[in-house]
């Protein structure tokens, strides 16, 4: 099926690793033009080099999504280079493995800032371009934590719930501009986040053994962590103009770890 993404321009935040990188790759495979950002210039350059796309299809920018001015510059550069913007994937970020007693006031502030600025800064910068697209889609990468909080990730769970709520409001507010807004809620997906945690845990287990224990401990129905490209397929489907009547909803890509029926 032709997903109708060829020659459309999509911005993916945090495309130098994991889910963002897999999404950039999947969009390029569909013939889209892609702009992506991250904070670490070397990591971004390495990721871009591995994609093998020319500057007519791939643009990168070093920027932190919490910095509204930097996001505005990166977005303006994208629109200038590619002649508009048709889609936005708010992916950049990470989770915070902390519970109630070890979360400081700074943890709460930083987590809420990252999650909310990570959606609002790119959206506000891209909004006029998305409104001019005629077939615009926004996908917010979220987590099943939004609906199923974990106390060991208390700040992240609360922030995720807020972002799911915000996504619904945005879908209503932006419908008049022809912009659809949806969420993809992840379970545990094998990316840099988990390789870093494996290294920090120093468990003596191989990464594969550690993942198998994790899947068992978290009750993942499919018995394994997800792959980044398994998330990317859902994101690409929601961005496609073929999904023209889908807005204000969320899809879980979680191998059955999510128990919520809502």
137 or 187: CB nearest ligand NAP: 187
Residue 122 as a binder of ligand NAP (CB under 6 A): the answer is no
Give the residue with the Cβ less far from ligand NAP, 135 or 161. 161
Residues belonging to the chain: 262
**Roughly how many angstroms between the first and final C-alpha of the chain, as a whole number?**
29
> What is the smallest separation between the CB atom of 195 and ligand NAP, expressed in angstroms?
8
Measured on CA atoms in the order 29, 35, 40, 42, is the torsion positive or negative?
positive
Single out the residue of 20, 61, 87, 255 in contact with ligand NAP (rule: CB under 6 A): 20
Q: Is 17 helix (H, G, I), strand (E, B) or coil?
A: coil
Q: Which one of 3-11, 48-56, 63-71, 124-132 is the stretch in contact with ligand NAP (CB under 6 A)?
A: 63-71
Q: Contact with ligand NAP (CB under 6 A): which of 29, 40, 102, 216?
A: 40
Stretch that binds ligand NAP, among 88-96, 127-135, 205-213, 235-243 (CB under 6 A): 88-96
Rounded Cα gap, residues 219 and 256, in angstroms: 8
What is the rounded CA–CA span in Å between residue 198 and residue 66?
27
**Three-class SS of 196-231:** HHHHHHCCCCCHHHHHHHHHHHHCCCCCCCEEHHHH
The answer to the question of residue 65 lying near ligand NAP (CB under 6 A) is yes
Under the criterion CB under 6 A, does residue 141 sit at the interface with ligand NAP? yes
**Cα–Cα distance measured from residue 122 to residue 136, given in angstroms and rounded to the nearest whole number:** 14
Q: Which residues bind ligand NAP (CB under 6 A)?
A: 13-20, 37-40, 43, 64-66, 91-95, 114, 141, 143, 186, 188-189, 191-193
């Amino acid at each position: 099926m032709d997903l109708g993404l060829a020659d459309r321009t999509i911005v993916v935040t945090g495309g130098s690793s994991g889910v963002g990188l897999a999404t950039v790759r999947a969009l390029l495979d569909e013939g889209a033009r892609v702009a992506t950002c991250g904070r670490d210039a070397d990591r971004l350059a390495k990721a871009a080099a591995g994609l093998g796309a020319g500057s007519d299809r791939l643009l990168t920018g070093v920027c932190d999504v919490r910095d509204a001015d930097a996001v505005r510059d990166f977005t303006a550069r994208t629109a200038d280079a590619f002649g508009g913007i048709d889609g936005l994937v708010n992916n950049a970020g990470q989770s915070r493995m902390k519970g109630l007693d070890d979360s400081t006031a700074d943890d709460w502030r930083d987590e809420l800032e990252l999650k909310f600025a990570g959606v609002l800064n790119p959206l506000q910068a891209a909004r006029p371009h998305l409104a001019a697209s005629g077939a615009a889609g926004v996908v917010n990468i979220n987590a099943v934590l939004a609906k199923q909080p974990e106390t060991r990730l208390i700040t992240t769970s609360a922030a995720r719930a807020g972002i799911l709520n915000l996504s619904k409001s945005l879908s209503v507010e932006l419908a008049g501009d022809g912009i659809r807004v949806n969420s993809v809620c992840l379970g545990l997906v094998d990316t840099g986040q988990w390789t870093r945690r494996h290294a920090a845990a120093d468990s003596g287990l191989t990464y594969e053994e550690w993942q198998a224990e994790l899947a068992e401990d978290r009750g993942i129905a499919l018995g394994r962590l997800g792959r980044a490209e398994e998330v990317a397929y859902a994101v690409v489907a929601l961005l496609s103009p073929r999904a023209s009547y889908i807005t204000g909803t969320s899809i879980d890509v979680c191998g059955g770890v999510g128990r919520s029926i809502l």
